[in-house]
Amino acid sequence: MQEGAPVVLGLDVGGSSVKHLLASARASLDTPPKPLDRGRHATPKSSPVEGLAAIASSLRGDADLERVVLSIPGLVDEAAGVVVRSTNIPALDGRPLGAQLSAELGIPVDVINDGHAAAVAEASWGAGAGVDDVFVLALGTGIAGAHVAHGQVVPGAHGSAGELGHITIEPEGSICSCGRRGCLETIIGAPALRRAWVAVGGTGGPEGLLAAHSAGDAAATVIVERASSALAEAILTLCALVDPGCIVIGGGLAQAPHQLVTLAERYVGERASFHRVPPIVPATLGEWAGANGTVLTALRRR
Ligand SMILES: [Zn+2]
């Protein structure tokens, strides 16, 4: 790296690891910048502010670091730079992380939600590039969503828009982590699929279920068809409310073989009425989507 060249740093803080991406502050906003450096660190859980400051300082080296953006799993007051609640890193709860790191490092530091970071990156630099109105859906342990219009997440009045995992699919269904019944997550989230598969004697978790479905197993087919049907209903609701120009689906459960998604897409086609169903495409930035989103945010705000 050229000594003294202006750079920005993105830190994607996860429950177990922190991914970093260092990019030139003069990088183009049109395409993902070639990272000057990227890597992983263990998440500092007991003193996260000091630990994250140490990571940023060690990466700074001789470079002219202009801005740091961190993405955090959990509820974040992005305007204030405060972590409201993080299930994975409880020591961050209520901390004014942006202000504290900014004081440590002497430069602006922003804090954003990790799902929002991944969504802006996919919408601008990934599978949604070139489309003005993109909905990004992550299928994993939970189901996260974000509507990105003209490159910006539409957060809603309280920052919680896009929670597609908690729309009701089965009003009399099982209890969800949110306390309500029959949310999408109770049917297609990874724990829900695992539970349904174990209940019929299946092994190997959601991956085992999908493999058995591919092999034509009847019990696996019932579970996968129910999950895909639920996802299809959620997508139709999404189209009715948001009318996106593209739906990007990522997350652990959407990786190939992603028959959950292809089957859902078929059901959506069969069930749509007035809905304008946009292309439903797989995410392309993979596990670096969040880190790319932090760098993109840093480049935009400098
Ligand atoms: Zn719920």
Question: What's the pLDDT tens digit per position in 62-111?
Answer: 889 999 999 998 889 999 999 999 878 999 999 999 999 999 999 999 99
CA 67 to centroid of ligand 1, rounded, Å: 36
Question: What's the pLDDT tens digit per position in 177-221?
Answer: 889 999 999 999 899 999 999 999 999 999 999 999 999 999 999
CA 143 to centroid of ligand 1, rounded, Å: 10
CA 41 to centroid of ligand 1, rounded, Å: 32
CA 181 to centroid of ligand 1, rounded, Å: 7
CA 173 to centroid of ligand 1, rounded, Å: 11
CA 166 to centroid of ligand 1, rounded, Å: 4
Cut 0.95: pTM above it? no
CA 66 to centroid of ligand 1, rounded, Å: 40
Phi, psi torsion values for 198, nearest 5 degrees: -65, -35
Those residues with Cβ within 8 angstroms of residue 195's Cβ, 6 or more apart along the chain or in another chain: none
Query: Quick check: 144 pLDDT over 90?
Result: no
Residues, beta carbon < 5 Å, ion ligand 1: 166, 176, 178, 180, 183
DSSP string, 9-77: EEEEE-SSEEEEEEEETT--SSSPPPPSEEEEEE---SSHHHHHHHHHHHHHTTSEEEEEEEEESSEEE
Angle between helices 218-242 and 205-214 (to 10 degrees): 100
